[in-house]
Amino acid sequence: MNNDATVLEMVHTPPTRLEKVLGIFASVQAREGVTSLLLLCNIFLILMAYYFIKPVREGWLSISVVSDWSKLEIKSYSAFGQSMLLLIILPVYAWLAASVSRRRLITVTAGISAILLVAFWLMQPGLLTEQIRYVGIAFYIFVGIFSVTLVAQFWSFASDLYGQEKGRRLFPLVAIGASAGGVVGSWVGERAVELHWLNAFDLILLALIPLGLAVTLARHIDRRGTLGHPNGETEIRRLQPAAPDGHGAFRTIYESQYLTITAGMMLLFNWVVSSGDNILFGLVQQALEGDLNGTGDPQALAAAMNVATTAFYSELYFWVNLSGLLLQAFVVSRLVRLGGFGLLLIATPLVSLAAYLSMVIAPVIGIIKVMKVAENSSNYSINNTARHMLWLPTTKAMMYQAKATIDTLFVRIGDGLAALTVLLGTRFWSYTLSDFLLVNIVLSTLWIILAICLIREYNQRSRMLAQPA
């Protein structure tokens, strides 16, 4: 917290021209503009790196062959594999967060990710060997863990830096960087491949540039603090372990009703979104196989499927992220002012419910693509901001240990349940497309109920923190 002198200085310091411009998107006060802009750039770079490699993940998975599994099953079961791997990774991450400073935590996790990116680039088909079996599935699992871990870690850092009052005002602004990073990453990656500047796998190496810049920027932000003039308290916090009061992520979640509901809601929301993604992926593969059916050479067919799948998802992600950027820039902060955290949290499950009802009425690939753009753009802007705001009234252990666990393991368990839905629906129950959509309608309704419960808990925690000690 700031001391009285700092607060008085902020009151008497007029906002700069930068802060007036940023005030269009959020309530930015004097001396808050620079750090807010740096955080916006930080998450922009992280998401740019992710969207360089995300279409590569889909393309590589599309040419991965496992016995008699369909493309939809390979995608679904690979997502489930992430959950199993996270059971090993998360205890190590929690130990690291309790042992090193937040700056070193950010550096180590990004460094490991960079090494793995180089390793996967070397294992691409046709570089050192023709094809390494299952490496496309391994890359799919890695990208899923990469995205949720680094993004969750960034928002833990931002929550730690800002606290509840500033976070509520400034997170809608900072989150613009996430939406913009997705748009730019998708567009640059798509154009680089289309114009033959790079092949699809070279995007993996390209992602190292924004990732390295993001780490450098995070270390600078940690040094300067929220207002640019670190005080003694800021210096003490900077040298402490990221989670100084940590007792283990699972225990922290189990002992808190607030976190238990959060974990359940995150699981359910990802079950819904992943099931929708799986439905779209299956339809895309069927459509492309029909279009490319005349390609006789199996290697040429695999290459064409890879390019077509990568191109489809690059375009899809571009529209999702552009829509998300517009929502983030011009809608999210206004929703916060209009209805607070509650309106922000309930909006996306309502959009999902409406989307899947529309898909049941008109179950064709064009409608499903448009509805997925609506759902995912709402998720990446409105819901993302709400999901990160809900950590503002929490402890450091909750931010760095419990958040990482919920945003990775429970999210991936949701993926696993989506995979289980595919397994049961395709192998045992002979589900049609409409059946899968009806499952998502039921899940979206449960998501709305849990969101209402979490809003109640959030308001209660906020009132408790607002009371004088």
Higher pLDDT, 134 or 319: 319
User: pLDDT per residue over 375-426, tens digit each?
Assistant: 999 998 899 899 989 988 888 888 888 888 898 888 878 878 888 888 888 8
The answer to whether residue 6 scores a pLDDT higher than 70 is: no
Provide mean pLDDT across the span 220-235: 72
Provide mean pLDDT across the span 148-153: 88
Provide mean pLDDT across the span 87-101: 86
205-223 per-residue burial string, b: 16 or more CB within 10 A, e: under 16: bbbbebbebbbebbeebbe
Provide mean pLDDT across the span 53-61: 84
Predicted local confidence at residue 1, as pLDDT: 43
The answer to whether residue 10 scores a pLDDT higher than 70 is: no
Least confident of 238-242, 253-257, 404-408: 238-242
CA dist 213 → 40, 51, 94, 219, 220 (Å): 13, 15, 25, 10, 11
**Cα–Cα distance, 167 to 438 (Å, whole number):** 37
| CATH code of the region 26-466 | 1.20.1250.20
* Residue type for position 226: T
Provide mean pLDDT across the span 68-84: 72
Predicted local confidence at residue 3, as pLDDT: 46
In the chain, what percentage of residues exceed pLDDT 70?
89
User: pLDDT per residue over 101-112, tens digit each?
Assistant: 889 999 999 999
**Cα–Cα distance, 41 to 9 (Å, whole number):** 26
**Cα–Cα distance, 91 to 86 (Å, whole number):** 9
The answer to whether residue 182 scores a pLDDT higher than 50 is: yes
User: pLDDT per residue over 438-464, tens digit each?
Assistant: 999 999 999 999 999 999 999 998 888
Average pLDDT along the chain: 84
324-360 per-residue burial string, b: 16 or more CB within 10 A, e: under 16: bbebbbebbbebbeeebbbebbbbbbebbbebbebbe
Token duo for residue 442 = 């039921």
User: pLDDT per residue over 298-330, tens digit each?
Assistant: 677 777 777 777 778 778 878 887 898 899 888
User: pLDDT per residue over 12-41, tens digit each?
Assistant: 578 888 888 888 888 888 888 899 999 999
Query: What's the pLDDT band for 8 if we cut at 50, 70, 90?
Result: very low
Predicted local confidence at residue 11, as pLDDT: 52
Chain-centre distance for alpha carbon 43? 11
Nearest Cα to 370, choosing from 436, 424, 323, 410? 323
The answer to whether residue 2 scores a pLDDT higher than 60 is: no
